[in-house]
Amino acid sequence: MTTALSAQQDVVDEVIALTYHDPLAFVLGAYPWGVKDGPLAQESGPDQWQAEFLTRLGDAVTDRAFDGHSPVAPIRMAVSSGHGIGKSTLVAWLVDWLMSTRPQCRGTLTANTFTQLDTKTWAALHAWHAKCLTADRFTITTARMYHTAHKDTWFCAPQSSKEENSEAFAGQHEKRSTSFYIFDEASAIPDEIWRVAEGGLTDGEPMIFAFGNPTRSQGSFHAACFGAMRKRWDSVAIDSRECRFTNKTQIKEWEDDYGENSDFFRVRVRGLPPAASDLQYISSALVYEAQQREPVALKDDPLVCGLDVARGGGDMSVFRFRRGADARTVPAIRLDTNDTTDLVTRAVHLLEDKHEGRRLHTLFVDATGIGGPIVDRLRQLGHKNIVGVQFGARAPNTRFANMRSYIWGRCRDWLAYGAIDASPRLEQDLIGPGYTHDKHDRIVLEAKDKMKARGVDSPDDGDALAMTFAAYTVAKAVPFMDGVKKRPSGSGWHWQ
């Protein structure tokens, strides 16, 4: 009996040792998937989105390489989703993994309401922990989960997210291990709770996870998934239709009753926030229709690319491609850098390589600020098909106050027949900017700094796509700026 028990403990210890950096391996090894007559006899493991989340988490742990002494950068991960995808289940797995693999860790779970926290989030933890390989090492009650031999130093506790309870989230530090926070239905958790929790991410190997339906177009959860703070977070939007466990019959009823692009369907199925206000320059409906449309490109449509150059502060440098009405087939490239040497090197490769069987006809580069030297260097290297775009320059069309407003105007017109990919990041970028009119009644697109001031992230992907409209382009010809009022004779010229 003792030998059998010791052998079992050895197996548990081995699982723990091998999965410190691999939460997916922990989930696959710590629960009885497919065991005959067991509680998971009919299940084979996590859904695809859950497995991908756990894999990215493991990569983040490996990259930080916490040594038990020197603090590392916080791991911040968020999931914006529709209903029924298995968020509470993933929360339970995260708690079991963290508690099992990190001695003396400390964690806090919260949700938008006490009912959600008690009957769903904490209840899911109860249910999954009972199946876990390490269950006998911990005690779980309605008030706390803790290591049986270390009740006061190795624990996780549920807490109300009421703003007046914010002090309960303070002071959670652990220099030698992990301090973690998990927010369920995070869209409705007050911003003050988020701010206080951030203070617990300064020591050790800190982590914070946020899950929820994006019921609001403002607040900390929106900022983490779609707004100004998404550069700090590993965030994804999950469509319920793509998940294994969701009720597809109910989803179809919602689609029939409300429509795919209704706010109801966006929030509860697509995992996207409600449409922005009437002051947005590009409507959500226009973007959604472009996502659904099949891409079409004529034989002589040239392939063009826009490069939006990051200005630091977490912005991304983005290459986005378009061929006629098709901005989907060639995938975008996003780089976490504003190093001009790196960007020139990547641009040269793009100019010299083939994409879907054809070479790049024109590269439009954001020449404002640090983008100017990139344009100069590419031309020095002999590339003539480079167009520098000055966002603040005079627009070739008098309806617009500047060049950036103009290219976004052309992009908006194009979306009525063009096709784009279904990237939530691109969608939020396109619908993000507002607009006004100046004293001459010209359209003025909302500036990036003003967007950031109201919690909306810099539209890097949106600017990159819009730049492909900065000039007319024609196959086997040098592009010319749109100041030309009269088209040349012949049938080669056309709008792109």
Give pLDDT tens digits for 445-472: 998 888 877 777 788 999 999 999 999 7
Give pLDDT tens digits for 422-433: 888 898 899 889
The rounded percent of the chain whose pLDDT value lies above 70 is 92
Give pLDDT tens digits for 190-242: 899 999 999 889 999 999 999 999 988 878 999 899 887 888 999 999 999 99
Residue spans of the domains in the chain: they are 2-242, 284-481
pLDDT for res 172: 82
Tokens 């947005």 label which residue?
Answer: 280
Equal CATH topology for 2-242 and 284-481: no
State how far Cα 40 lies from the chain centre: 31
Give pLDDT tens digits for 103-138: 999 999 999 888 888 889 999 999 999 999 999 999
Q: Is the pLDDT of residue 151 over 70?
A: yes
Q: Is the pLDDT of residue 280 over 60?
A: yes
- Mean pLDDT estimate for the chain: 88
Residues 364, 305 contacting (CB under 8 angstroms)? yes
The domain 2-242 is placed in CATH, from the list 3.30.565.10, 3.30.360.10, 3.40.50.300, 3.40.1160.10, at 3.40.50.300
pLDDT for res 328: 96
Q: Which CATH class is domain 284-481?
A: alpha beta
Q: What is the mean pLDDT of the segment spanning 405-409?
A: 96
Give pLDDT tens digits for 284-331: 888 989 999 999 888 889 999 999 998 766 678 999 999 999 999 999
**Least confident among 50-54, 87-91, 159-163:** 159-163
